[in-house]
Amino acid sequence: MKSIVGRKMGMTQVFAEDGTMYPVTVVEVLPNAVTQVKTEEVDGYEAIQVGYEDKKENRCNKAELGIFKKAGVSPKYELVELKGDEMKYNVGDEIKCDIFQAGDIVDVTGTSKGKGFSGAIKRYGFTIGPKGHGSGYHRGPGSMATNGRYNRGIMKGKKMAGHHGNTTSTILNLLVVGVDPTHNAILIKGAIPGPKKSIVTIRSAVKVQKGTKQVVKPLVNYTPSVSEVVNDETK
């Protein structure tokens, strides 16, 4: 299983030579620098820690600088741990976007958009009550307490009003439409979690059905569309 860290830049559309349109999310994947290798003997499991996107030394604390100097890499904004049987790298190596190719099926993990404190109707999609003046129930969560044998108030996990969004979310089995090494970009069909400029992790799909393979038709030149999304500083 392969994994890499990138930054969601926005959405655009690309076209195949026969006119088929693919709605894609552009993920900017700058080279991931390996800062630490964890082993079964020392740490109890196998994984690698990678850094994403350079930052100035004066923006690091002493602990962070120690990690980067020991690994021999420049300071990074993000440190993420990746696992996978194909992630055999040494400290200081770089992982680039070309580990994936068009036609690959991937899972994308990110932090979903935060929507603040929301009621049960918006948060969980409960059905609203009648809107007439005679109704005493419009947008309430309904009955909450139990009755009878297990009557002990509100059960754990009851769906109620609360903070909506801003949670780790994974979308499975997305299609890689294209890889653009010139702009360090991966084009993924459909939407992925999180707002623009948020950090996402792309990994090989773990639940894809055996024998299924989606074919990406030959694309016309999509470099201008990718360049526009990646270089748009207003987003």
Q: In this predicted model, what pLDDT tens digit does every residue of 205-223 receive, in sequence order? A: 998 876 666 788 888 887 7
Sign of torsion, CA 191 10 187 51?
Answer: negative
**Which of 119-123, 148-152, 169-173 shows the lowest per-residue confidence on average (mean pLDDT)?**
148-152
Is 20 in the same domain as 84?
no
Asked, for residue 226, whether it belongs to a domain, the answer is: yes
Q: Distance between CA 71 and CA 60 in Å, rounded?
A: 15
Reduced to 3 states (helix: H, G, I; strand: E, B; else coil), residue 7 is strand
What is the count of structural domains for the chain? 2
Specify the pLDDT at position 213. 66
Is 23 in the same domain as 74?
no
Residues facing residue 153 across a β-bridge = none
Beta strands 32-38; 47-54: pairing state: antiparallel
Q: Distance between CA 54 and CA 76 in Å, rounded?
A: 4
Asked, for residue 90, whether it belongs to a domain, the answer is: yes
Whether residue 136 is predicted with pLDDT greater than 70 in this model: the reply is yes
Specify the pLDDT at position 109. 97
Specify the pLDDT at position 113. 96
> What average pLDDT does the structure give for the chain?
90
Is 72 in the same domain as 168?
no
Is 73 in the same domain as 177?
no
- Residue 114 lies in domain: 1-29+99-129+159-230
Specify the pLDDT at position 119. 95
Asked, for residue 139, whether it belongs to a domain, the answer is: no
Is 50 in the same domain as 9?
no
Task: State which amino acid sits at residue 201.
Answer: T
Asked, for residue 154, whether it belongs to a domain, the answer is: no
- pLDDT tens digits along 42-94: 999 999 999 999 999 999 999 999 999 999 999 999 999 998 877 789 999 99
**For residue 234, what is the DSSP state?**
T
- pLDDT tens digits along 3-39: 999 999 999 999 998 999 999 999 999 999 999 999 9
